[in-house]
Structure formats: structure tokens, C-alpha cells
Structure 1
Amino acid sequence: MEKGGISAILFDLDNTLVDTATAGQLALSKVCELLRSKLKDTNTSDICQRFARKLHEERFDPSAGRTIDDVRINHWHEALQEAESVDPGRALASDCYYTWKTTRLQALALSPEVLTLLQELKCSYKLLLLTNGDAQTQREKLEAVRCEGLFSNVVVGGEHAEQKPAVSIFTHCFEQLGVKPQDCIMVGDSLDTDIQGGFDAGVQATVWINKSTDALPENSVSPDYTIPSVLDLPNVLAKLK
């Protein structure tokens, strides 16, 4: 692939390069199986959906003195209590959490097509992985996916004072790569963090991964390009030449 008017590409990780959503659903299904073997006459799907909502609303503060594992075991404990109206004990909550965590990590992987794409892009562009999330969780994902060698730099939001969409973390990325904002594009699935952050930081173009082909939400930032899969990125790069 020939280099166009840019020299660097910033990639998001979750649901951009790896299908974290599908891995998460598989992990919840595994926990449902576990709960059906432990609890009788229980709506296991309700328990799992309660956990999923807590995970979605999670605001982890590492300075509070608890690990992310502790916080998420507590999510499962609360979900079990709410659904069962009794306290089933933290041992079951811990079993649920580690079943979910292990299954999700095992399911995370770069597809052969995405791996080939990154290997080809690496020959022409500086690639940087910029992912939000607490440090432990994201580093565990990176280890599971084994993709760090494909990037010039990996930046995990939880290891910095601010995460996407803050301009400060994008500025850090530009400094790490030795490039200017206008030399880069930002590729990600989140309008609120990836696209808004890239726009605010002044990158040459933002590329939104919209797998569901949903319409752009009202009052949302407008991406420069919208594609259904990261595999369509070469078409965007061709237009930027």
C-alpha cells in the first residue's frame, strides 16, 4: 500500500480491530451456563444483563484503592443480589467474574484479514494503538491479542491523566510518533471518544467504524469518513492521496 497524504494512523482497539462485543456476549453465555448449574429456578439471563449494565455504566477510579477485579466481582455480587433478593455469597460472584473474564479474553483475537491489513499498513505508515480503559484490563487484552508488535507505540488511556477524547492524550500520541496532528488519521468505532477526540486534536481525518450502519445521531460530531469495517480503510487511504 502506498503512502498518501498522511504518515501515521491512530487505531482504537475494542470493536475496531477486535470484536470485543461478540467476545463479551460469548462470555455472558458461559456465565449463564455456570449459573444454571448452581442456581435452580433462576432467570440467569436477567443476572447477566444486570452485570452488563453495570459494566457499561462503570466508572473505575484506581485511586480508590480497589482493583478492577474487585470492582467487577462486586458488579456480579450486586447483580445476583438484585435478581435473587438474597445474598448468594461472594464466592459465586467471584466464579462468575473469572468465568466471564477468562472466556472473553480467550475469544479476543485479530482476524487473519485484520492482521494482514495491519502488516501491510505498517510498511507505509506509523501505526499507533490508542485504547481507553483501565490499565490492567486493556493490558490483559493486548497480551491476549498479541498485537503490540504491529504498532510503533501503544497508549492505554488508564495509564494517563486523561483518556480519549481529551486532546492531551492525542498530543502525547503525536509526540510519541514524532508527527503533527495533520499528518494523522484517527480510526475508531466511538463517535464520543475516537471521532470527537480526533476532531478536537486536529487530525487530518477521522474514520468512523459503523458496523450497524446506523444513522449519525443528532448533534453528534461528524466523521470525515464512515466505513462498516476496518478492512475498508484502504479505500479511505486512497482518497487521502
Structure 2
Amino acid sequence: MMENNQGVLAIIFDLDNTLVDTSGAGRVAIQKVCDLLKSTKVHESHIGNICELFLHKLRHESFDPSEDRTIDDVRIHHWCEALQEARGTDPDPSLASSCYYTWKNTRLQALGLSPEVRTLLEELQRNYKLLLLTNGDSQTQWEKIKAVRCEGLFSALVVGGDHPEQKPALSIFTYCFERLGVQPRDCIMVGDSLSTDIQGGINAGVKATVWINSDSKCIPQGSVTPDYTVPSALKLMDVLAELS
């Protein structure tokens, strides 16, 4: 068993594209929808455009859970609009619903902790308090957590959609520190988003921020700078060794 590093008592992890390959699962799901659309005789020239339109709507989605509709309703509507806009036809709610549930269920089935990441978390769990902090709609993120079967690996699970503010807001980090019973300087923040994970960690005063940069992206000009950059969460042991 490795020794605990002086000063690091807790690790806060993001979920999507940090511990699980949500982008990869999304690509698998979109391919499944393409296959569905081909089978329903949608013209092949429209299929790519329909999926692009849906993904654009998903990226720019705004959802207020206090409204009288679910995230499922909102996303079925994205598909309905995408089908309509790409084909110039009347709405097709039935096909939109089929597209949505094909996309959603395929994406959930494709999500998972790799054996290597699961082993890493089990190893870290022996010496550190681990907390999962994920932004997003409550229903969507809890469905992912359930699909990934990771509840037992963390001292606490925090979904942004259950709180008044999400990352990078200080309030949700303060809540996490309280859940863990630690000070900000006892924690490191690990995530793939400079604007939410890294900015939030810096705002909250954590000991160090670790940016998961799997695509070897350059840090954009004017962006926040992480303390450490690694290609994968599997390199976290190297960071902890440096921090000790």
C-alpha cells in the first residue's frame, strides 16, 4: 500500500471524459441512430445533417428542471427539430422518440469504467477520500453513475443539477469540502474542462489542479492554467508522487 502524500487528503474527480469516455460512447450512440434512420428509409443524404443538428442542440441546451417537462422531453424535441430542419418536412414525434431512446440507451450501455481506471480508484480509495463531482442535469448524470456502477468507489457523489450552482461556482466546491470533512488545501481537483473543473478548483483554493488532456490540446489564450496536465487519469499516481 502506498503512503499518503503529506497535505493531500482528498481527490475530487469529474466524471465525463475524465473517468469515463463519454465522447466515445456518444459516437457509438450516434452511429446506432444513423443505422436506425437508414432502416426507416430516411434519405442517406439527410442522415449526417440530422445527427449534426441534434449534437449542436445538445451542446447549446438549456434546461430548467422546474419547468413542467423532463430532460427526456427536451431531447426528444431536439431530435424532432433536427429531423424537421434537415428534411424540410412536418414533425415526426414517433421517429424523434425512437432516435432519442436509441441514442440515450446506446450511450449508457457504452459507458463504463475501464478495468484500469477501476483499479486506480480502488487503490486511491485506500489512502484518500474520493468524491465525484459532475455537472449536468440531475436525471442524466445519475443515470450515467448508475450505468458506470461506480458508487462504491467514492465517499460522496455530487451532481451539479441537484444544487443551486454547478462548477466552477465556489458554493458547490464548498459543499464538497464539507461532505468530505476537509479543507480546500487538502484536496486536488481532477477534470477535463479548463472552464469548469480547473477554474473551479483554482477559485476554491485546492492544493492542485490536474487537467486531463486526452487529445493533446493546447491551452487556449486567456484560459486558466492547470498545475498539472496528464493525458489520462491513469497518470495520477505520477502527480501524487510529485506532490508528496
- Normalising by the smaller structure, the TM-score range is over 0.9
Q: 1:49 aligns with which of 40, 48, 52?
A: 52
The structural deviation recorded for 1:73 is 0.1
Q: 2:34 aligns with which of 22, 32, 35?
A: 32
Instruction: Describe how 1:152-171 pairs up with structure 2 within 5 A.
Output: 152-171=155-174
Q: Deviations over 1:138-197 (max 9, x none)?
A: 000011000010000000000000000000000000000000000000000000000000
Partner residue, 2:23: 21
SS, match of residue 63 in structure 1 = coil
Q: Deviations over 1:87-122 (max 9, x none)?
A: 241000000000000000000000000000000000
The structure-2 alpha-carbon separation of the partners of 1:40 and 1:155, relative to structure 1 and needing over 3 Å to count, comes to: closer
Letter in 1 for 2:175: H
The structural deviation recorded for 1:68 is 0.1
Partner residue, 1:211: 214
- Equivalent residues of 2:108, 2:147 under 8 A apart: yes
* TM value normalised by structure 1: 0.99
Letter in 1 for 2:4: K
Instruction: Describe how 1:128-147 pairs up with structure 2 within 5 A.
Output: 128-147=131-150
Instruction: Describe how 1:171-190 pairs up with structure 2 within 5 A.
Output: 171-190=174-193
**Size of the alignment, in residue pairs?**
241
Partner residue, 1:198: 201
SS, match of residue 66 in structure 2 = helix
SS, match of residue 185 in structure 1 = strand
Partner residue, 2:79: 76
The structural deviation recorded for 1:2 is 2.1
| 1-structure distance, mates of 2:42, 2:8 | 58
The structural deviation recorded for 1:215 is 1.0
The structural deviation recorded for 1:46 is 1.1
Letter in 1 for 2:200: G
The structural deviation recorded for 1:39 is 2.7
- Equivalent residues of 2:81, 2:91 under 8 A apart: no
Choose 174-183 or 34-43, whichever is displaced more. 34-43
| 1-structure distance, mates of 2:124, 2:79 | 41
SS, match of residue 64 in structure 1 = coil
Give ranges in structure 1 of 5+ residues lacking alignment.
none
Measured on the aligned residues, the alpha-carbon RMSD in Å equals: 0.7
Partner residue, 1:3: 4
| 2-structure distance, mates of 1:144, 1:134 | 16
| 2-structure distance, mates of 1:240, 1:51 | 43
Choose 151-160 or 36-45, whichever is displaced more. 36-45
Give ranges in structure 2 of 5+ residues lacking alignment.
none
| 2-structure distance, mates of 1:44, 1:3 | 52
The structural deviation recorded for 1:36 is 0.7
Q: 1:106 aligns with which of 98, 109, 134?
A: 109
Letter in 1 for 2:3: E
Moved over 4 A (4+): none
- Equivalent residues of 2:13, 2:132 under 8 A apart: yes
* TM value normalised by structure 2: 0.97
The structural deviation recorded for 1:40 is 3.8
